Structure 1
Amino acid sequence: MRRPRQQQAALLSRYYFLCNVAKLPRPPPSTPDIYVDCLKDSVNITWRIQPELVPSAHRLFLGNCMGSKLTRLPTGEGEVYFHHKLGDCKFRRLVKGKHLIYQNDLTFRPQAKPKPAAFTFPIRCLYKRPEEWVPPFLVPGTGVTEGRGSLLFHMALLDQALSGFAETNVVPLGSLIPIWAAVEQRSHQPLLLLMEDCVAAPTPELQPGSQVHPIVGNQGCLFASKWGNSSFLRSYHSSELILHLQAFKFASSDKVYLHCKLTAWDPENLNEHKKACHYANGGWELVDDPSRSSLCDCCDSSCVSRPKRAAHQKSQGLVRTSVLGPLIIDDSGTKAPTFLSNAPSVERRLY
């Protein structure tokens, strides 16, 4: 019998789940919504969520890993599946007597780190310690020292499950392409990764008069979300951002290159000049805090920049232009937006 949601949350917060490869007894039927199966070197987790939580399923995490799959049930509920290696997702390994213990947390994070999780459920997998296992401090090793310098920015194509890098750069026309952008935190205070400007072009370099199509502009407004199904998705850390871009192609080429300006910013200082906005539910929405979506009101007009401050930020290494591609667009049997070669070209420069 299902318990009221309030009782479920109270029970989940008290229940500390333990399982191992020796097949300990399964949790009692009264334990709601979460089932954990610890395998030899990985873990399978099924988390059943209420209908109102399904649209926010991408904010459920195991450690810092997103769910591997979401299934919508006929009842309107959803089941989020996690399948990850114990060496991933920031599992913590402890040694206690003759056992190795792997610990982690399932969390619901309406907002990215450093904001706290709204709900936490602990996961614990127990294994018999191998006889040949040696504590790490008894194994000779080497260390690496890194100096403080310019921040490192990254862009990459992810697989559809958002669990790793894509194995191919061929994408079907009209499909959603998950594009990951990040800035390495290192010793810096928490950083917010923003995509201020991004254009698509059929060439890896932009020249005066190059044919391009705007994807992001107006200092963080995802234009592609208004004419298609594209959207921003904030990852576990505020220093990572995922762009779900609906695949299109130029009539002159099946190759698409993305030229994007990435910015590292203070998470506590969002404003109309530093933001991540996409078009959803009939209006512009601030990805990191929908309650402050008024910062996106300028997306349909002009979000005035501040040249002097922008120049100062660039000198500090907080702004980088990244190019991702080529993405090979496969249009066999698919209909989706295509930008004709005789369409007016747009000249854009990324500063």
Structure 2
Amino acid sequence: MVSFLKQGVIIFAVIATFVNTDIDVDCGKDYVTVKWRVHPDLVSNAARLFLGNCLPSQFIVLPTGGEAIFIYSLNDCKFKRLLTGNRVIYTNQLTYRPYGKPEPAVFTYQIKCVYNGSEELDPRFLQSAYGSVKGNGELVFHMGLLNENLTAMARTNVILRGSFIPIWAAVEQGDHQPLLLLMDECVAALTAELQPETQVYPIITNHGCLVDGKAERSKFLSRYHSSAIVLYLNSFKFDMGQEVYIHCNLVAWDPEELNESRKACHYVEENEQWELLDDVLQSSLCNCCDSKCSSRLKRGVPSEPQGLVQNSVIGPLIIVEN
């Protein structure tokens, strides 16, 4: 156990009382209620109890100690969302921080809410064969341009300069286990076919690192389903009037076997760090994005490299002045 020195006194006895701490978690439809009964010694320090970055909604003093009550939306308190197949998983942590950051929390407790997805997670355009490429086995891949509302396939290939280009990709997986769709590599080019001499603009490199996000604010949008991904690409980089093609390698992968060579990472400017799209708690997998990520693969999908599609392409896209 880590000891903390404050005013010459080693404080650790209070921490030990958390081992049998009474915590109740009630996962509502779109919110969570957490009741955390704490030791009497902590009643005067209730402002150091957190759910994510949220303070208790209410604190009740009891004869036997105190009860911190957290009632928050799953969109608050920095809840992390993970999608696996049709399951939606929200995770967070209860923490006790007697000292301010950067000192670590002396107690943490994992909060987890699991929900079954619904058909509302699957927009109608998931069934579209637009830009489909048949992969190995029963996997069928789709890639296309969405409209600005992200509700259907775009009706035009004309993009206003300064707007974002929503590029959607998905995989129909048949009888396979639930798979996670990843963009392993994406580049922009002025031709529909890539040749060795073709000049390209790198968008995603290094096995899933959205390098364009550091300079141009491009990002991955939150997933509505593990079998689909949306790349939100800034159009500022492209010259007006040119025909632009987006080439991507798509990979269907076991969501439980993410590693440096199978991941989706984007740069979050406000945090000044790389984050893993599908589980922020595993963002250490993105640490290699500024250097070189390992190409060593774990065996995730049967008959590897099941699901790899080379040079999936959409275009031409035409950038025009607003």
For normalisation by structure 1, the TM-score amounts to 0.54
Partner amino acid, structure 2, of 1:209: E
Q: 3-state SS of the aligned residue for 1:199?
A: strand
Aligned partner of 1:225: which letter? G
1:110 paired with 2:81, answer yes
Are 2:238 and 1:267 equivalent residues in the alignment? Answer: no
Alignment correspondent of 1:201: 189
Given the alignment of the two structures, is residue 327 of structure 1 paired with residue 317 of structure 2, yes or no? yes
Partner Cα separation in structure 1 for residue 312 and residue 208 of structure 2: 15
Residues 206 and 190 of structure 1, relative CA distance in 2, 3 Å threshold? same
Match in the other structure for 2:75: 53
Equivalent-residue separation in structure 2 for 1:120 and 1:271 (angstroms): 25
* Match 2:172 to one of 161, 173, 184: 184
Inter-partner Cα distance in structure 1 for 2:318 and 2:76? 32
User: 2:30·2:74 contact (CA, 8 Å) conserved in 1?
Assistant: no
Aligned-pair CA distance for 1:194: 0.5
Q: Which range moves more in the overlay, 214-223 or 242-251?
A: 242-251
Cα separation, partners in 2 of 1:174 and 1:12, compared to 1, 3 Å:
closer
The one of 201, 221, 231 aligned to 2:219: 231
Q: Deviation at 1:119?
A: 7.5
Offset, 1:326: 0.8
SS in 1 for 2:286: helix
Q: What is the alpha-carbon distance in structure 1 between the residues aligned to residue 115 and residue 296 of structure 2?
A: 41
Percent identity for Structure 1 against Structure 2? 51
**AA partner of residue 84 (structure 2):** K
Report the Cα offset of residue 208 of structure 1.
2.2
What secondary structure, in the 3-state scheme, does the structure 1 residue paired with 2:165 have? strand
1:172 aligns with 2:143: no
CA 1:206–1:292 in structure 2 vs 1: closer, same or farther (change >3 Å)?
A: same
Whether the aligned pair in 2 keeps the contact of 1:112 and 1:234 (CA below 8 Å) is: no
CA separation of 1:253 and 1:304: change in aligned 2, threshold 3 A:
farther
Q: Which residue does 2:123 correspond to in 1? A: none
The one-letter amino acid of 1:283's match is: Q
- How many residue pairs get matched? 215
CA contact (8 A) 1:220 1:274 kept: yes
Seen in structure 2, the aligned counterparts of structure 1 residues 212 and 186 have a Cα distance that, compared at 3 Å, is: same
Structure-to-structure mapping, 1:1-351, within 5 angstroms? 53=75, 110-114=81-85, 115-117=87-89, 118=113, 149-248=137-236, 250-251=238-239, 254-280=242-268, 281-306=271-296, 313-314=304-305, 316-332=306-322
- Once residues 185 and 210 of structure 1 are traced to their aligned partners in structure 2, the CA distance between those partners, rounded to angstroms, is 33
SS in structure 1 opposite 2:256? coil
Label 1:291 to 1:7 Cα distance change in 2 as closer, same or farther (>3 A).
closer
Q: Deviations over 1:204-228 (max 9, x none)?
A: 1112221210000000000111111
2:26 and 2:286 mapped to 1: Cα distance?
38
Distance in 2, Cα, partners of 1:193 & 1:8 = 28
**Equivalent AA in structure 2 for residue 185 of structure 1:** Q
Instruction: Provide closer, same or farther for how the CA distance between residues 253 and 292 of structure 1 changes in structure 2, counting only shifts above 3 A.
Output: same
Question: Distance in 2 between the 1:293 and 1:208 partners?
Answer: 33
Please state how far the C-alpha of 1:306 moved relative to its aligned partner. Answer: 3.2
- Given that 2:31 and 2:73 are in contact with CA atoms closer than 8 Å, whether structure 1 keeps it comes out as no
Q: Deviations over 1:15-52 (max 9, x none)?
A: xxxxxxxxxxxxxxxxxxxxxxxxxxxxxxxxxxx798
Partners of 1:55 and 1:171 in 2: CA distance: 36
Query: TM-score, normalised on structure 2?
Result: 0.58
- The aligned residue for residue 340 of structure 1 is none
Task: Output the CA distance in 2 between the equivalents of 1:197 and 1:178.
Answer: 16
In 1: Cα distance, 2:30 partner to 2:313 partner: 48
Unaligned residue ranges in structure 2 (runs of 5+):
1-24, 33-71, 90-112, 119-135
Shift of 1:234: 3.8
Which residues of structure 1 form unaligned runs of 5+? Answer: 1-5, 14-49, 57-107, 124-147, 333-351
| Inter-partner Cα distance in structure 2 for 1:109 and 1:181 | 22
Aligned-pair CA distance for 1:121 = 11
Amino acid at match of 2:255: P
| 8 Å Cα contact 1:113/1:238 also seen in 2 | yes
CA distance in structure 1 between the aligned counterparts of 2:27 and 2:230, rounded to whole angstroms: 32
CA RMSD of aligned residues (A): 3.6
